[in-house]
Structure formats: structure tokens, C-alpha cells
Structure 1
Amino acid sequence: MAVVSSPLSEAVQRAAGQALQGALVDLIDLSLTAKQAHWNVTGRTFKTVHEHLDEVVATVREASDSVAERAMMIGVHPDGRVRTVADGTVLAELPPGAVPEDKAVSSITEALAVVIARFRDRIAATEDEPVTQDLLIGITAELEKHHWMFAVQR
């Protein structure tokens, strides 16, 4: 199996790799949480919330692919397996069944806030690797936009 030789020092590669792996776990879990809410949301504003949840899922899935590809570029193998995500998640789990629109909005707003805070920590941790840091900054900006749009609905 071919392994990419990293152009980064071992310490920078390790820090960036850890940041990217943590970001990948958060993004995969966020996409699953948003999709679960998307499928089960109910209420008067169903259509608006349902469609916005799909926008979050699309943003997050694209971001997770970018994060995993960046990890490979620096010689770190990303791990997006179910067990890895389940063991590494910090997001609150949605209950099964119908999710009233206010609960969906509140849950996704909180999940986004948690992921954004963790991304900001990763941005700080990658100050010696500006390409990875730039990727994380861009993703954080997109997540903050979705957070704002859900937060104003509370």
C-alpha cells in the first residue's frame, strides 16, 4: 500500500492529523444528526426546517470529504468508520421518532455550536500548518452561517 510522504515535520503532521481526524468525526456525526432530524421533523414550519437541514447535511458532507482528503495529502489516513465516530462523538443524540420543529431547531443549533467551538480549538492547534488551518477556518465560517440561520428561529 502506498503511503503519502508528508512534506510537514513530524510534529506539525501529528498536530494537523489529530485536528483533521477530530474534525472528521465531528462532521460525520453532525451530518448524521442533521439527517436524522431532517427525516423526523414535524410541525408547521416542517418544509423550511426540513430543507434547511438538508442544506446543513450537504455542507457538512462536502466538508468531511475535504477534511479526509487533506489528511491524506499530509500522509495521515482518515478514519470515518462507524465505531470510530460512535466512540469519538461529543454531540447529544436525538431521540428516536418524531422531532417537533422547535426541538429540531434547538438540537441542531446546539450541535452546530459544539462543533464550531471544537473547530475553533483546532484552528488554534494548527497555527503551524496554515493550509490545514485555512481549510478549518473555511468550514467554520460555513458552520457559523448555518448556526446563525437556525439560532434566529429559536
Structure 2
Amino acid sequence: MMFRTSIDLPEESRAQLIALLNAQLADTINLALQAKQAHWNVKGPNFIALHELFDKVVDVADDGVDEIAERVTALGGVAAGTIGSIAAATKLPEYPLSHTTGKQHLQQLISAVAAVGKSTRAAIATSADLGDADTSDLFTGLSRELDKYLWFLEAHVQSDS
């Protein structure tokens, strides 16, 4: 379903952009939920640092979610942000409920943030190819923030060797 809009992009391009945005919406919502799962359940000697870091990852993902969903609706689409929509569309693997240690949560979130960052960078190119510099810019900003927090997460597991 698409609503009429005066945004000067062809209807076919808007339909493709809406599908692209909704795919990223599913993964970005899932990323926020996975980071919150880690935030609630992390245990160990670095608890407070990781607890706070994981919540910042949630904030970055949530900011991206809001921008993505609002862009979907601006283009005349319907943001698919229900649990069922997310579960059906996400490409991220299920977050293991058995994770408790900081290292387990870090590795899982590193993988998830890297995956969403990669698909977001692909979405930059796709949206640019469809003639939508605004959506491309939205994805560029999100990609930059994801990369920053990927660096923060990876710094916890890197060593001098």
C-alpha cells in the first residue's frame, strides 16, 4: 500500500525505496532489541561499562529506527515495525538467551552491528541508484554511527598482539 505524496520521485522508485527502508527497519529494530537484551543480562567484571555501552548501542539503533520509519511514511509507505513484521523480515540471527558473560554479549553484538552496518552501506548505494539522495544521506548517517559503536565494542575484545 502506498499513499499519494508530492515528493518528486517516480512511484516505482518510491516502492523500491519503501521496501529497502522496511528491510533496514526490521534489522535495526532487531539490533536495538539485541543490544537491550545484552544490557539487561550482562554479568562479570566489566558489568557497568558494558551495561552502559550496550544502552548507547540501543540509543543509536532507536534513533535510526525513528528516522527510517519516518522516511518510509514520507515516501507514502507504511512502516512495518510490528513484532511479526520484524521477525519475518530480519536477517539477523536469533540472539541466544544463554549469553551472560561480557565476552559473549560483545561477540554477539559485534556480529549484529557489523551486519547491520554492512546492509546499511549497501542501502546507501541502492537508494542513490534510485535517485533518492535524502534516503542515501539517512543511511550514511546511520552507517557512521554504527561504525563508531562497532569500534567501541571491538575495542573491548582486542589485544596488543
Selected match of 2:152 from 118, 143, 149: 149
Unaligned runs of 5+ in 1: none
Task: Give the corresponding residue for 1:5.
Answer: 5
Give yes or no for contact 2:99–2:105 (8 Å, CA) kept in 1. Answer: no
Alpha-carbon shift at residue 33 of structure 1 (Å): 0.5
Alpha-carbon separation, structure 2, partners of 1:71 and 1:4: 13
Aligned ranges 1:1-154 → 2 under 5 Å: 3-7=3-7, 8-97=9-98, 99-127=100-128, 128-154=131-157
Give yes or no for contact 2:21–2:69 (8 Å, CA) kept in 1. Answer: yes
Worse-matched range after superposition: 58-67 or 86-95:
86-95
Deviation per residue, 1:41-75 (Å, 9 max, x gap): 01100100100000010111111011101111111
Give yes or no for contact 1:27–1:64 (8 Å, CA) kept in 2. Answer: yes
TM-score, normalisation: structure 2: 0.90
Alpha-carbon separation, structure 2, partners of 1:50 and 1:36: 10
Deviation per residue, 1:107-139 (Å, 9 max, x gap): 111100110111111111101110010001001
Aligned residues: 153
Name the SS of the counterpart of 1:92 in structure 2: coil
**How large is the RMSD of aligned CA atoms in angstroms?**
1.5
**Aligned amino acid, residue 107 of structure 1:** Q
Worse-matched range after superposition: 19-28 or 6-15:
6-15
Alpha-carbon separation, structure 1, partners of 2:125 and 2:99: 38
Alpha-carbon shift at residue 3 of structure 1 (Å): 3.5
Alpha-carbon separation, structure 2, partners of 1:151 and 1:9: 41
Alpha-carbon separation, structure 2, partners of 1:78 and 1:11: 17
Alpha-carbon shift at residue 4 of structure 1 (Å): 4.3
Alpha-carbon separation, structure 2, partners of 1:39 and 1:93: 16
Give yes or no for contact 1:40–1:97 (8 Å, CA) kept in 2. Answer: no
Name the SS of the counterpart of 2:3 in structure 1: coil
Alpha-carbon shift at residue 6 of structure 1 (Å): 4.7
Worse-matched range after superposition: 84-93 or 72-81:
84-93
**Aligned amino acid, residue 25 of structure 1:** A
Alpha-carbon shift at residue 97 of structure 1 (Å): 4.5
Alpha-carbon separation, structure 2, partners of 1:47 and 1:64: 26
**Aligned amino acid, residue 138 of structure 1:** G
